[in-house]
Chain A
Amino acid sequence: MSWMVWTLPTAIFFSSIAAMLAGMTVWELRSPSIERKGFLPISTTRGDRLFISLLSAAFIHLGVVGFTAFPILLASAISVIWLFIMMRWG
């Protein structure tokens, strides 16, 4: 695996993505998601909302890293709050 040049932060990143996917699978098996409409203009399932949160998290991070001087952890904090808002009311 040395050719993949792993680092600790990226390993944590991919582990948490994998954990999220596994968690979503278990959740889905326990209680299947029902499509519903929140504040987004389209009706979404749980998986859709996770995907939208993750994609917007990526852009939040790019925005903070590229165009502001704030630390990256601020972007992560915003993303986590955004993830929660999306999953609950999206």
Chain B
Amino acid sequence: MNNKVQNNRAWLLVLPMLVLVAFSAIIPLMTVVNYSVQDVLGPNARFFTGTEWFTTMLNDPNLQAAFGRQVLFSLTILAIQIPLGIGIALLMPKKGWQASAVLILITMPLLVPWNVVGSIWQIFTRGDIGLMGWSLGEIGINYNITRNAGDAWFTIILMDVWHWTPLVAMLCYSGLRSIPEAYYQAARIDRASKWAVFRYIQLPKLINVLVIAVLLRFMHSFMIYAEPFVLTGGGPGSSTTFLTQSLATMAIGQQDLGPSAAFSIIYFLVILLVSWIFYTTIMHMQKDKNSQGGA
């Protein structure tokens, strides 16, 4: 490290972007903070409430339950999608037209918009006209996502796995493709078992893409809105109501701007914390790698 001050004029080139971000994110966020300490009834009727909204929101049993469900949902889909994605990536053909064909087939669910995914599954699981709902009914399983919370959860998780495992699989596939053939040759010379190849060659080389996959999937699932909203509407009862939906109901449905502003800030801070932990982990791993000479 040198102690000389570098020429920092290139930073000025960031200014246009900064203006854009200020307009689209920073200034709205500051407004949200302002709203969170007041009860705003109209342009000229607002009352300072201090930290009252924060206290209310943090102690609201419905929101605490929604937060718990959100965490449970994210952890569940991560526990399924990451191993499943790795497995699919390992099974995918490595070259030739088969590789392209499989890639295209696997990518399909990713191209479907969120609310359409919700609609597809909503119809798919109906007992009268949906293939899955009807078939399960015919073989004698009592399956109803509008009445049974367990069924609703099962369906939402199945839907998310269907929609997003391809992303994990594609990331892992690209990670696997970047492993040089020489590693596999060396393993063959040592007569390494398939498991040993996976454990000591493929998995260590996949760690970087896996961290990105976990981060992306966590963020997506922690902010999930349209899919469960269309599929179950948060029901039965409130068994599949996640944080985003509680927030939307509060802010848009009931126009409780102060409480929802406080709630948004808490939500934002949790996401900021998790993202920062992931980001630091990634940067830290890359630093370790560089200091070990790319091992």
Task: Report which A residues bind B (CB closer than 8 A).
Answer: 2-7, 9-10, 13-14, 29, 31-32, 34-35, 42, 51, 55, 58-59, 62, 65-67, 72
Q: Smallest CB-CB separation from A48: which chain B residue?
A: B280
Residue of A2, A34, A59 touching B1 (CB-CB under 8 A): A34
Besides A3-B43, A67-B59, 17 other A-B contacts (C-beta < 8 A): A2-B43, A4-B34, A5-B31, A5-B34, A5-B35, A7-B34, A7-B48, A10-B33, A32-B1, A32-B6, A55-B269, A58-B269, A62-B269, A65-B51, A66-B54, A72-B50, A72-B51
Report chain B residues within 8 Å CB of A3: 31, 43
**Number of residue pairs across A and B with beta carbons under 8 Å?**
63
**Which secondary structure dominates where chain A touches chain B?**
helix
Q: Smallest CB-CB separation from B40: which chain A residue?
A: A5
Report chain A residues within 8 Å CB of B269: 55, 58-59, 62
28 A-B residue pairs with Cβ-Cβ distance under 8 Å, sorted by A, are A3-B31, A3-B43, A5-B31, A7-B38, A9-B37, A10-B33, A10-B37, A14-B30, A14-B33, A29-B5, A31-B3, A32-B1, A32-B5, A32-B6, A35-B1, A42-B280, A42-B284, A51-B276, A55-B276, A62-B266, A65-B54, A65-B55, A65-B58, A66-B58, A66-B59, A67-B58, A67-B59, A72-B50
How many of chain B's residues touch chain A, expressed as a range? Answer: 20 to 34
Within 8 A of A (CB), among B58-73: 58-59
